[in-house]
Structures are given as structure tokens and as C-alpha cells.
Amino acid sequence: MRHIAVFTRGALALGLALVVGGVATWHTPASGQISVGDLLRNLGSATGGSNTINLPIGGGSTRPGQAGPMELLGMLRQSVETIDEPREIEIGRQLASILLGSKPLHPDLRLQAYVNRLGRWISLQSSRPNLPWTFMVLDDPGFNAFAAPGGYVFVTKGLIDGAQNEAELAGVLAHEIVHVIEKHHLRALAKNARAGLAGQVVASQLRNDLAGNVGAQFLSLGRDLYARGLDRGDEYEADRKGVALAARAGLDPFGLPAVLGVLATVRPDNPQYTLNMATHPPATSRLELLEKAMGDRLNALSGRPVVTINDRLTR
Amino acid sequence: MVAQTASTSRWRWLAALAVVVSSWAVTIPVAAQLADGAIVKRDTNLRSAPAENAPALAPVKANTPVTRLPERQGAYVRVQVDNMTGWLHMFEVGSGAGAPAANAAASGGGGGNVLRGLGSFFGRPSSTTVATTTVGIRGLDANDLANAQPSLSAVTTAEGLRVTANDAEQFAAGAALRPQPVDELPAP
């Protein structure tokens, strides 16, 4: 119960963060600049059991739990760039809690440690080496990988088992790391928040339960995002940049293409791959594009001695 | 006379059966090859080992049907083509539309025990039948996501399992992983 309350507060904070986006640059006529900090402070003081919040919105007047639709819509057009890193990490944390609510952490701590070491090493070669990168193996036999803003990266046990060597796992981790670097999930959430929330605001009166609405809305945005996947352009970009990133970390660049080669032969009704296939463009397209991008550029970095995941775990 | 005829015809029947059975044994893998749907994309050489400088076993022409085997190494995949087994660069193999599952990746799925995936770790062929590897393994799906009770405590646990940049560098040093200068690949 306590965790749910904490989550609601967190989701609420996040929902508002998404809703207000660039409030830091937004001015009200009467009261001047309002920062997201102001909003969060209000949030903190108002959640001692009450489900209303005092938002200093609109001409400096304070009306509990209500904000004019036009102000909200204006805020939502702010860009993702105005979401600062701490907020980005908190958003990711909340999304991660959905995934970990779907499947638990795998109990093999040696495996978790290995994936963290390999993943952290790859992240060190990226343009955001100092994010609080957190790698997790989900106790799930399906073949899949996920990422959340702020540096949360997941692979399933099914993917670990299906990777024939370290380079294949590294390719997948690098792909997910690129999703974080390029803020693909943040942008998708913001885009969907604009679409969904705008509709909600226009369609109904805001009740005093704005806090609850925003929290629940954020949750469902997150679930929906993982169930439907990112735009295919994001996936192709993560493939292309992921291959280069894995190579930068000293791994065989053909790890991710090898995984795609397997995905390209999976039967459509194979339940181990259902979500992966539903949330990504066809593997054959991904491979075609990767092949065009790679050419023989990275061949010199291939052909190293093969190391299996089991080699690492039993060393 | 009757006995001799019966004995001869029985042996003839057995011989005919043997011929039929052995021809099945030959045609089934061939049928599987054709059903796989993968083809060689361009004129190339089947290699004896997964390396660019490995000796060629035989030339293979474009559009030849090929069966991917489960083993993969670097940029190469083990294949069966023209009744030979060898290695091709993965970019030389094209998946045909509707290719049935090779299921190489499914060989170790399920369970919480790392050791169960050993077969695929060492690159040995997974079970040769397609059907058995898929039944019963259902991964995380949209329903699980819809019904998930978010768990921040699990996130906290996961955060506690993080490693430092220093840990990662030590791991890399021990694993002989060195940073390489690599340009971004060109966008389409």
C-alpha cells in the first residue's frame, strides 16, 4: 500500500512534469515566472492525504485542483529538451516500475552483475557516460529488451539464453542504450501526452481529482508505449547507432545483425517473440538497412575470438 | 516352388521398402531446405570456417536455396546448401518471405537456470525439430503490461545492483575489450 501511495505521488509529479514541460520558461501575466520547482513544492505540501493541489496558474489566482485547458495545452507544446536530467531519470524510474511490475528481476545475481558490467562498459563509450545506468535481467522466458529514460535498460532471460555469444548481447544492449541517448521514449511519451491529454482536457471538466487523473494517465501512457513500441525510424536509428556503439566498446559489430538474422526467421506465431515482433519493424527490413549502412566498413573489427555468456559466468 | 516364390517376393518387398524409406530420408531434409525459404543473395563461396580468409569449400550461385543452421560466429552463419555444410557471411543469406522458424534462438528459453541454455552457448545445434521449441514458452506480452502492478521497490533493488564506471573498466580490462574509434554509420 505504501508503495502504491509513493508511486501515485511520483506518477503525479511526473505526469505534471510531462504536462507542464517547459513551465520554467512560461510566464503568467500577474505573478511572473513560474518554475517546475514551484509546482513540485506545491505538490509536496498538498499530498498529505489530500488529493487536490494548489497550482498557481492563470493570472496569479490559485484554484484548488484546476487549471484552464488553454494553459495546459500551451505547456504541452514545450519541447522535450526542457525536461531536465533529474526529471528524465524520475520518468524512467516510473516506467521501469511498470516493467518490473510485469516480470520480476531474475534471481541470478551473477548474471545481473555481468549484464551490468557489460552494459555499463558500453554506456561509457556513449555520449552520456555519466547517467545512472542501470541494467536489469527480467525473469521472463520471452525474447525481448526494453529501455526507459534516464538509463534503465532491460533484457529478458529468454534473450540471454538465445544470445550465442557476448557480442550478440552487447549488440542488443547498445541498441537499447541508443534509445536512451536519443531520448526516443521521452519524445514518444511527450507526443502521446500531447495527443491524449489534449483530448481529455477538451472532452471533460477537470475535477478536483486532477492529481489522480494525471497520475493514471501517465501510467497508461507508459504501458501503452511498451505494448505498441516506438516509431520504426527510432528503431532503425537505434540499430545503426547501436552497431557503431558496440564496436566502439570493442565488441564484434555483427552481434546485433546476428540477432536480427535470427529474428528474421522466427515464425509469426511463436509466442516467445510475440511482443518483440509486435513492437518492432520486420527484422528483414532492419537487416537490409543495417547492411546498407554497414557495408564492409566494420569488417576489420569482426572475427575476434568468440566469448559466450556462459564463459563469463563460470570464469 | 511356392515357398521359393514367397521368399523371393518377400525380399523384393523388403528391398522396395528399403528404397522407399531411404528416398524419404533423402527427400525430407531437401524438402525442409526448400521450405526454409532462405536463399543465397549473390554468387559467393561456401567457406570451411567462419572467417574471411577461410578456405572455400565450393562456389555457390545466387538464389540457391539455403538452410540456416543454429550456429553463428561473428559475421558468419553455418548453413546447409547444395547438400554441403559450411559457413556464409550473414549478409550473403537472405530470408525468403514466410520462412518457418529456425528457432536457433529459442533453444534455451525458459526457466531460471542459466545452465539450461548451454546448448546454444556452445553453438551446438538446437533440437532439430521445429515444433518442440515453441510450445509453452510465452513471454511478457501486452496483457502483462496492462495488468502490471508497478513496483518501485523492485526498481530500488535493481539500482542497488548497479556497477560503477570503475567496475566496468576493470571488467573490460579483464575481458580484453578496448575502446575503438568508430564513426557513426551513415543514415539512409
B99 and A CB contact within 8 Å: yes
Query: CA-to-CA distance for B36 and B67, rounded, in angstroms?
Result: 6
pTM of the model: 0.73
Mean pLDDT of B17-31: 55
Cα–Cα distance for residue pair B78/B95, rounded to 1 Å: 14
Which residues share a beta bridge with A155?
A137, A145
Residue A219 CA to residue A11 CA, distance in Å, equals 7
pLDDT at A203: 43
Return averaged pLDDT per consecutive 10 residues of chain A, 315 residues in all.
Answer: 50 55 41 38 35 33 35 46 85 94 98 98 98 98 97 98 97 98 93 67 44 66 93 98 98 97 92 94 96 95 92 89
Please give, rounded to a whole number of angstroms, the shortest distance from the CA of A261 to a CA of chain B.
8
> Which residues in chain A touch residue B49, judged by CB atoms under 8 angstroms apart?
none
Return the number of other C-beta atoms located less than 10 Å from residue B166's C-beta.
9
Answer yes or no: do B152 and A312 touch at CB < 8 A. Answer: no
A97·B114 Cβ contact <8 A? no
Report ipTM for this prediction: 0.75
Tell me what pLDDT residue B12 has.
76
Distance of CA A36 to the CA centre of its chain: 22
Which cell goes with A144?
525481448
Measured between CA atoms, how close is B173 to chain A, in angstroms?
Answer: 10
> Distance (Å) from the C-alpha of residue B84 to the closest C-alpha of chain A?
21
pLDDT at residue B16 is higher than 90: no
- Residue B148 burial by Cβ neighbours in a 10 Å radius (0-12, 13-18, 19+): buried
CB A86 within 8 A of CB A28: no
Q: Tell me how far apart the alpha carbons of residues A122 and A255 are, in angstroms, rounded to a whole number.
A: 13
Which residues contact residue B4 at a Cβ distance below 8 angstroms, ignoring those fewer than 6 apart?
A: none
C-alpha closest to that of A260 among A231, A286, A294, A229: A286
Q: Does B96 touch chain A (CB under 8 A)?
A: no
Distance from CA of B137 to the nearest CA of A (A): 6
Q: Is B51 on the interface with A (CB under 8 A)?
A: yes
Mutate: best of A99, A166, A315, partner B, most B CBs <10 A: A99
